Structure 1
Amino acid sequence: MFTGIVQGIAPIIAITEKDDLRTHQIEFPDHLLPGLTNGASVAHNGCCLTVTHINGNLVSFDLIKETLKQTNLGTLQVGDNINLERAACLNAEISGHLMSGHIIGTAELIKITSSENNRKVWCSLANKKLKKYIFYKNYIGIDGISLTIGEVADHIFCLNLIPETITRTTLGQKLSKAIVNIEIDQQTQATVDTVERFLIAREREETDLRRIR
């Protein structure tokens, strides 16, 4: 599990391509190395990946075809920066919200406006079916960052970024048309899916009753 509080930004040093597999070698910040071992979970732009090799501060991760397809990690190149977060500890403060590291889709940044102390980012969902999970003032994970949804218009929603988020994450570097990973709050997803299944079941029951009559 993760909290959506980005702990560092790190560059991709090397990419190795294999059949249906890609390996990313990341130059880890020193403060994220203590206790890191093979098999540990680390969120990359919000996507949970497993450490496969450690050589000093160079840490490798394998990405399968499905991960490359469903996230923005497949579009990254050597030199690109990613948001990193180590797995959460049970005795640590959770300042964001609980996140699984399972990316549900992506969104495109379609408009960015900046003022002296604020930045507004408008996002358009790649899969418009996900709009049922987008609610005003609800949590959402954007490239591994715990954020609160602002205005919502159909499949488009707004995020308000404070200076700290702009400075400490890659969102401060992104321009319009950039693709970001999306993780929906798990409680929201479970509630929406449950209500949806209930309404479908009730509609079927009412249809069956009308046929009997």
Structure 2
Amino acid sequence: MFTGIIETLGRVVAIEKDQSNVHFTVESTITHELKIDQSVAHNGCCLTVVKIEGDTYVVTAIQETLDKTNLGEWEVGAKVNLERCMLLGARLDGHMVQGHVDTTATCISVEDLDGSWKYTFRYDFDQPTVAKGSITVNGVSLTVVDSEKGLFSVCIIPYTHEHTNFHTFQPGTKVNLEFDIIGKYVARLMEMQKA
């Protein structure tokens, strides 16, 4: 489990294809605190550390992960939002995040609000958002501002803009989405009642 509070930005320094899998080598300031077999969220996608060397570590994405996330679009030099698993008994500053990406969305606009930024995203997935509800975008726990079918917006404070990869987003940027787990269960229960 994660919280959606990003610890640091990592940088992809190498990409190696291995049959249908892809190994990503990531450089980060938290590498020295990681261990083999540890789960780390990368743009909200939970991946397992398989190798550590100096200030870099390696994670592997299988085809299923590449198909459902934006990892297949990563290039060497890409900035990646990183978060280690939450500690049991610690404060939950964001919201409960599983690290299981539901779908991707496309940024359709970035609005400078003179001290904050408003980002609007479009997605094609049968899960609603709720105004003032929680959403995870590239692993960042955020509050939904505007909510329509297949469309939502979030507002970003300067700290989040600087310390996550949101500052790299522009119209056309593909991001990972994880919808609120409680909302997903409610939607599923309502769907089952209709059947």
> TM-score w.r.t. structure 2 length?
0.97
Q: Secondary structure at the match of 1:123?
A: strand
Q: What is aligned with 2:130?
A: 135
Q: What is aligned with 2:49?
A: 51
Structure 2: tracts of 5 or more residues without a match: none
Structure of greater Rg: 1
Match of 1:113 among 107, 111, 114: 111
2-side partners of 1:153 and 1:89: how far apart?
A: 34
Which amino acid is 2:48 matched to? T
Deviations 1:9-58 (A, max 9, x none): 111000001111100000011xx235411100000000000000000111
Which amino acid is 1:95 matched to? D
The residue correspondences of 1:36-185 to structure 2 (distance < 5 A) are: 36-125=34-123, 127-130=124-127, 133-185=128-180
Q: Give the CA deviation at 1:8.
A: 0.4
Q: Give the CA deviation at 1:145.
A: 0.1
Q: Give the CA deviation at 1:175.
A: 0.9
Q: What is aligned with 2:3?
A: 3
Identical amino acids, percent of aligned pairs: 32
TM superposition outliers: structure 1 runs of 4+ over 4 Å: none
CA RMSD in angstroms comes to: 1.0
> TM-score w.r.t. structure 1 length?
0.89
Match of 2:191 among 183, 189, 196: 196
Measured at CA, do residues 128 and 40 of structure 1 come closer, stay the same or move farther in structure 2, by a change above 3 Å? closer
Structure 1: tracts of 5 or more residues without a match: 202-213
Q: How many residues align?
A: 195
Deviations 1:179-206 (A, max 9, x none): 00000111110011101211x13xxxxx
Measured at CA, do residues 103 and 42 of structure 1 come closer, stay the same or move farther in structure 2, by a change above 3 Å? same
Structure (1 or 2) with the greater helix fraction: 1
